[in-house]
Amino acid sequence: MSEGRQEKGNEGTMNVNPRPRFLMCRPTHFGVLYAINPWMKPQDWQRHDTVLAAQAQRQWAGLRGALLARGAEIDLVPEVERLPDLVFTANAAVVLDGKALLARFRHPERQAEEPHFRAMFHALRARGVVDAVHELPDRTVLEGAGDCVFDRARNQFWMGFGPRSDASARSVVEDTFGIDTVALELCDPRFYHMDTALCPLSGGEMLYVPGAFTAAGRSAIAERVAPDRRIEVEEADACQLAANAVCLGDTLMMSACSDRLRAELTERGYRVAVVPLGAFLRSGGSAFCLTLRLDRRSAAAGEAAMQRQPAMASASSR
């Protein structure tokens, strides 16, 4: 399998731009300067800040290199002093079918990032990378793809709510994208963004941390994901944020992976690429949240693109 694996099913062969495209931000000003989740310990960071800052730079470069090596294109948000969490670009917006729904953050510490992500998306629109930039209604909080992940195999969004995003954002996502959105309540403060606890894989499996979700959330998952497609992440992997993985075709990039989890994923036809991101774990983040996929297409948009460009579609099916 390659990235081509993602093309099967609904989306067929209609991906006009076959290169996956991601938004990232260099960790020049990354650090743990405040605490807005239980992973963040500013005093621990401060004790070794020079070493950790250097480690963050190396680890981020490792992730970027791994994505580039697999053919990805990467756009960079200009880094900003005193905004250490701007590196977590997954939180910038929800992006699908060329539309970006800009995030609004729960905590003032991160609200200061909003104008920078907004400016970046307007620049991406000017360059034709996205077609439209949408705003959330006043007071609705939704922290981008950190709490709203597109599942290609099911052509739907999974949305986490509670700690960082409002349940009311669900209908905004549905109206903006015209895509079914299933909202799951989060209940473990360690898994404060849904992307720390749930990762839909390209072949339809779902990697998830059951204890991160309320009973209602777990049954919503069970209703939509067949038992043989559910891959439960156990405590040790969950605490390394293994579920915060980037899935690119048959490759899963994650910061750490136990032998057991690796065996299970390999058995199902995936390759695990371990990309150490320990410096970012200290902020409660890992691979998925350091990236934001910009080129995702839903089933309907993919079909429309194929109708507009039949020549392209048949060319890319080879």
**3-class SS at 248?**
strand
Of residues 271-300, those binding ligand ARG (CB under 6 A): 283-285, 289
Q: What is the dihedral of CA 73, 92, 204, 71, to 10 degrees?
A: 10
Q: Is 90 an interacting residue with respect to ligand ARG (CB under 6 A)?
A: yes
Q: Provide the β-strand partners of residue 24.
A: 76
Instruction: Name the DSSP letter for residue 104.
Output: B
* Helical H segments across the chain, by residue range: 42-47, 49-69, 108-111, 114-126, 169-177, 215-224, 235-238, 259-267, 278-281, 299-308, 310-316
Q: Give 110's Cβ-side CA count (13 Å radius).
A: 24
Q: Give 18's Cβ-side CA count (13 Å radius).
A: 19
Q: Which is nearer to ligand ARG, 200 or 302 (CB)?
A: 200
Please, what is the minimum distance in Å from the beta carbon of residue 126 to ligand ARG?
Answer: 26
Q: Which is nearer to ligand ARG, 41 or 260 (CB)?
A: 41
**Phi and psi of 300, rounded to 5°?**
-65, -45
Q: Which is nearer to ligand ARG, 27 or 284 (CB)?
A: 284
Q: Which residues are catalytic?
A: 193, 289
Q: Is 92 an interacting residue with respect to ligand ARG (CB under 6 A)?
A: no
Please, what is the minimum distance in Å from the beta carbon of residue 203 to ligand ARG?
Answer: 23
**Cβ proximity of 184 and 220 under 8 Å:** yes
Of residues 185-204, those binding ligand ARG (CB under 6 A): 193, 195-196
Of residues 36-65, those binding ligand ARG (CB under 6 A): 36-37, 40
Q: Is 88 an interacting residue with respect to ligand ARG (CB under 6 A)?
A: yes
Q: Is 85 an interacting residue with respect to ligand ARG (CB under 6 A)?
A: yes
Binding ligand ARG (rule: CB under 6 A), the pick from 15, 91, 255, 298 is 91
Sites of contact with ligand ARG (CB under 6 A): 36-37, 40, 85, 88, 90-91, 110, 146, 193, 195-196, 283-285, 289
